[in-house]
Chains A and B, each alone.
Chain A
Amino acid sequence: MKSRYEAAKNVFVDSIDIDDYIELDSSTSAYKQLEHSMDKPLKMILLFGKPGTGKSILLNRIHIKLKNKREIHYFDTPAINEKEFFHKLFKVLTKKDLPNNTEVNFSALVDFCKNLRGKREIIILLDEAQMYSPEMMEKIRLFSDSRAVKFVVSLHKTEDEDLIAKEHFQSRIWEVIELKNATKEDQSKYIYKKLLKKNLFEVANAIKDKDMKLIHTFTKGNYRECNKLLFTLFEICEYYDKNDPSKMNYEHMPQRIIEMAALKLGYIHV
């Protein structure tokens, strides 16, 4: 028989699948803020936050929601080089494939964009933009100056990159949306909603407030870390459920297992 924990474990496989999106007060607010910013005549919007705060899933969600209403494109993985990026951009702008053995002329593409002004409003969602070089970012800015193409740039906020990002975009970015780690309440809701979405009510009910607090302490409210911890947690539960049920408490998640998962992931050390 399939363990209930196996299903629970799979709930927390890290993905940006729109089906895994959980409506939370904070995420709804960020979504609305982004949607509102895109309506403004802005050239670039910076979406930044630490890894695992939900930037990618937010971009994905806005892409899915608006793709039928507006001309919106999601570049989930950064292009390895300029050539590839222009290739992708050409395809988006012209809605045609680039003929073989031809290269995109940057100034021709910028001119093309300028011609589109007032005719079309294209939104390009750039995920993992910290991987683009400053030169590349400069060229992206030139495209956005055409006012026909609007860029939503998603950036990792790390200690070092924070300053770089701010300095680089200070004069160019008109709107900054910052995503933060979840509060304890938000994280609890996130976990419950995720489990309930898959009808795992008993599993969700076994995680008490005290456990949620512990999980929040270990993960610091980061959604990706939370997914990792809960995946490992349910993996251990699955093992005990199948091999040693005496060590499982089905009504109350043993703190020991949460700590074991935290040890496994290196949140705590011996």
Chain B
Amino acid sequence: MYDIKPLEEEWKRYKKKKMKPWYTLIFVIFLMLLISLIFLNYKKIDFLKFNDKSNVEIVTDKSTILLIDKALTTLEIKKSKVSEIPKITEIKPMTVTSYENESMEIVEDIPILEDIKTIKEPRVKIKTVEKSRKKMHLNIIETTSVSAYKDVAKRFNQSHDTDDSLFLAESYYRKGNYKKAEYWALQTNKVNGNIEESWLIFVKSKVKLGRKNEAIRILTAYIKKSNSVEAKSLLHKIKKGTL
């Protein structure tokens, strides 16, 4: 019997040599798979990123729409509470259709709805839309609002559009972030000192922050300048402590 060990060793070497091309092939296939996987993943991430951006953009767009809407409605309502109603009703269907097509982001952003309680006709028409809006909105605003605010703030810094700053002031005030509301109302006033709503939010924020005297002083000065009924009513409320 010859020694089997050297033969076993020789066989191992032979097997290694025989398997070499297969290992190489497997390695090449694995490498190709890995590369394609990485490439695909990269594309996926890219796509996701793109999607995220589009989300953000959509949100900001909506906030823009919202601002425009809000500005339109509030301005028009306030200037011609009764006489301009037919005009508003003409505009409403347009805004309504725009809401229908877009995803409903705005619910929370429409304090106007509360503010416009006095306008009854258009309200009735909008209500049907609002219902569906409220349902869908909750999730979206929670997830995207922060980025949306940031975006609006960023945009304001570039464009100094008072619609943006006023939107932020109102939004923060509603959310109870009075310090930020005060800041954004001040920013609005710096750009345009004639926006009453901005003055009112500024004053209301001061009251909420516990600086009642300062608020009264500012509001009195504003009333002197503008003789605004709304401002007077607010002053009365502040003094009474019913704000």
The residues of A with any CB-CB pair to B shorter than 8 Å are 235-236, 238-240, 243, 256, 259-260, 263-264, 268-270
Contact = CB atoms under 8 A, between A and B. Distances in A.
A259 B14 contact: yes
A259 B11 contact: yes
A238 B8 CA distance: 15
Contacts of A236: 4, 7
B16 to A, nearest CB: 9
Main secondary structure of the interface of B (DSSP, over half): helix
A263 B14 contact: yes
Contacts of B13: 270
B17 interface: yes
A239 B4 contact: yes
A131 B10 CA distance: 38
A260 B4 CA distance: 9
A260 B13 CA distance: 11
Contact of B1 (A239, A263, A264, A270): A239
A260 B1 contact: no
Given A235-B1, A236-B7, A270-B17, 13 more contacts: A236-B4, A239-B1, A240-B4, A243-B4, A259-B14, A260-B7, A260-B10, A263-B7, A263-B10, A263-B14, A269-B14, A270-B10, A270-B14
A264 B14 contact: no
Nearest to A240: B4
Given A235-B1, A239-B1, A260 B17 contact: no
Nearest to A244: B4
A15 B10 CA distance: 30
B18 to A, nearest CB: 9
Interface of B: 1-2, 4, 7-8, 10-11, 13-15, 17
A240 B13 CA distance: 20
Residue picked from B2, B4, B8, most chain A C-beta under 10 Å = B4
Contact of B8 (A235, A243, A260): A260
A55 B152 CA distance: 100
A263 B8 CA distance: 10
A256 B13 CA distance: 12
A235 B3 CA distance: 11
Contact of B7 (A243, A264, A268): A264
Closest 8 CB pairs of A and B: A270-B13, A260-B11, A270-B14, A260-B7, A263-B10, A239-B4, A239-B1, A270-B10
A235 B7 CA distance: 13
A152 B19 CA distance: 49
B4 A268 contact: no
Contacts of B15: 256, 259
Contacts of A264: 2, 7
A166 B36 CA distance: 63
B189 to A, nearest CB: 90
A218 to B, nearest CB: 13
Nearest to B3: A239
B242 to A, nearest CB: 95
A240 B7 CA distance: 13
Nearest to A235: B1
Contacts of B7: 236, 260, 263-264
B65 to A, nearest CB: 74
A236 B3 CA distance: 10
A269 B14 CA distance: 7
Contacts of A269: 14
Contacts of B17: 270
A77 B215 CA distance: 133
B4 A263 contact: no
A239 B2 CA distance: 9
Nearest to A263: B10
A21 B15 CA distance: 36
A259 B4 CA distance: 13
A260 B1 CA distance: 14
Contacts of A268: 14
A260 B5 CA distance: 11
